[in-house]
Structure 1
Amino acid sequence: MRIAFFVNSIESETPGYTTTALALAAVQRGHSVVYVEPGDFILRPDDGLAVSAAVLPDASYKTPDKLHAALKDAAKQKKTFAISDIDIVFLRNDPSLDVTDRPWAANAGVMFGRLAAERGVIVVNDPDGLGQAQSKLYLQSFPEAVRPATLISRNITEIRAFIDKNSKGCIVKPLQG
């Protein structure tokens, strides 16, 4: 099988990432592994979908470090594949990392995943589910019994009052990310 891992940036991948462990396991089981970044997908005028991908050479990588080194080299020379030549796409990017510096890339994984799924490719990390869960508002759709007390606000007075009311502490997170 040819397995594609869609990531924010090959440059920012590390040997300790779960994506690296997944890629290593796939290669060790005889699968072909490619990495795709947000700017790598191509939708042609005939509606054909393709990807420009960094192809990991077939090798018996013993450690994540060895695979990671091979990935860095592979990123220097990408190869273009029709999406029909990809069996599975793992959406492994974090949209929040691209919101500020590359806003065009933030939703690229979800959009690419949908296009690939429409063309019969198995997409792991459902793009529609990821699209729904892009902000903390998504958690409000869960039953009240399984979600913590939540305040969503930019008003500092509201936030301080909520923190003061919860003596056991609070976790503060941005709406997106």
Structure 2
Amino acid sequence: MKIAFIINDHKTEKANYTTPALGYAAYKRGHDVYFIGVGELSYASKGHLSVRSKTINGKKFNSQETYFNALQKEDFSTITSEELDVLFLRNNPADEINERDWAQNAAFIFGEIAMNNGVIVLNHPKSLAGAVNKMYFQHFPEILRPKTIISRDHQEIKDFFKKQKQKMILKPLQGSGGTNVFMMDKKNEHNLTQTIDAIARDGFVIAQEYLKEASKGDTRLFLMNGKPLKVNGKYAIMQRINASNDIRSNIHAGGKPAAVKMTDQIMELADIVRPKLVQDGMFLVGIDIVGDKLMEINVFSPGGINVISQMYDEDFATPIIEAIEKKVYYKSMYSNYLFNSRLATL
């Protein structure tokens, strides 16, 4: 099959990221693999997607790093949606905030064009467009979520702070990777107004109850087709331990990964989120868990597959590509009878 991955930018994509791991797994299985930066997307006059991409063929590599580094040195070539079987949207819109605002929604828009041209687009672009900020998380059952308000009203946020016994988390509605996340308590209450102002400059503020279990970090679990990703009895799951004196557990923010066992509680949380993820066509998702609550659902570019693969000495990337191969097969059998949103999670 011909599979393309949309990334934010070739200049910022690193060889040890999850998307290159997926691309390398597809390459090893003999597929034609293309990497496309958001800025390389275009719409052709004939009504199809036309992109400048980087690809490599006919060579053997010993690791995803040597593969991706070699691919990055290749010149750009052009491919259209008429030639592609699969377009995997792996860019993170939050990384574009205040930098390239035009790029935040581009992948969804062009993804819909590719979908209309018969390309399987993962995750489903229409659902991704609706999940571009953390409000998407609020559509899942309340039992899963910490107590939360979303507002720009200072007094409403301060009242919530009092109800939470003067301890809460503040973060922006848009964003990821632990950017602009603050823990407010009695010690820094004097900075509350200033902190709200700083976040509110770029939009709405999320005020969320502080979970004491968060001091130990969080648990990242990958879901594929709505179910926990599992290989040879091992789950794609890891604990992300906070860096010293930092409430953020994101690996890019200094958090440290560690092995962790699957529990009945985590399985129950995963089972509750499954129906909506399946309905929305969310093929590959990362859920972040603290205690008995979900803190975040990453539907754009959840990272850590390469880290987890090394941690458990298992290849978690190849089963993801195998699942995509099945979708291409199903589409060939049913032609245009299966909607992209349903095909995405079959």
TM-score (norm 1): 0.89
For 1:87-102, list aligned pairs within 5 A: 87-102=85-100
Amino acid in the other structure paired with 2:72: K
Quick one: which of 125, 139, 142 aligns to 1:127? 125
Q: What residue is the counterpart of 2:52 in the other structure?
A: 52
Alpha-carbon distance between aligned partners in 1 of 2:28 and 2:163, rounded to the nearest angstrom? 52
> Aligned with 2:79: secondary structure?
strand
Distance 2:168 2:61 in 1: 43
- Contact 2:48–2:113 under 8 Å retained in 1: no
- Cα contact 1:27–1:58 (8 A) shared by 2: no
Amino acid at match of 1:26: A
**TM-aligned CA distance change 1:48 to 1:172, over 3 Å:** same
Change (3 A) 1:16 1:170: farther
Corresponding residue of 1:61: 61
Runs of 4+ in structure 1 off by over 4 angstroms are none
Alpha-carbon distance in structure 2 between the residues aligned to 1:46 and 1:3: 21
C-alpha distance in structure 2 between counterparts of 1:169 and 1:122, whole Å: 45
Note closer, same or farther for the CA distance 1:155–1:16 as it changes in structure 2 (3 Å cut). Answer: farther
Kindly report which structure 2 residues correspond to 1:11-160, keeping only aligned pairs within 5 A, or say none: 11-74=11-74, 77-160=75-158
The alpha carbon displacement at 1:171 in A equals 3.5
The structure with the larger Rg is 2
Distance in 2, matches of 1:67 and 1:163, equals 50
Say whether the 8 Å CA contact 1:36–1:53 is kept in structure 2: yes
- AA matched with 2:30: G
> 1:8 corresponds to which residue?
8
Structure 1 alignment gaps of length 5 or more: none
Give identity over the alignment, percent.
38
**In 2: Cα distance, 1:170 partner to 1:90 partner:** 36
Q: 1:122, 1:168 → 2: CA distance?
A: 48
Superposition deviation, residue 63 in structure 1: 1.2
Question: How much does 1:167 deviate?
Answer: 4.9
Provide structure 2 residue ranges, at least 5 long, that are not aligned to the other structure: 176-346
When residues 30 and 174 of structure 1 are mapped into structure 2, their CA distance, relative to the original with a 3 A threshold, is same
Q: Could you report, residue by residue, the CA deviation over 1:3-47 in whole angstroms, capped at 9, with x for unpaired residues?
A: 100000011111221101101111111111111111212212221
User: Structure 1: how far apart are the matches of 2:49 and 2:156?
Assistant: 47
Letter in 2 for 1:145: I
Deviates more, 1:23-32 or 1:47-56: 47-56
Cα pair distance change 1:6/1:152, threshold 3 Å: same
Q: Secondary structure at the match of 2:143?
A: helix
Q: Is the 8 A contact 1:57 1:70 kept in 2?
A: no
Per the alignment, residue 165 of structure 1 pairs with 163
Q: How many positions carry a matched residue from both structures?
A: 175
Distance 1:85 1:169, change over 3 A: farther
Cα separation, partners in 2 of 1:66 and 1:14, compared to 1, 3 Å = same
Tell me, in whole angstroms, the C-alpha distance in 1 between the residues paired with 2:41 and 2:110.
7
> Does the CA-based 8 Å contact 1:24-1:61 persist in structure 2?
no
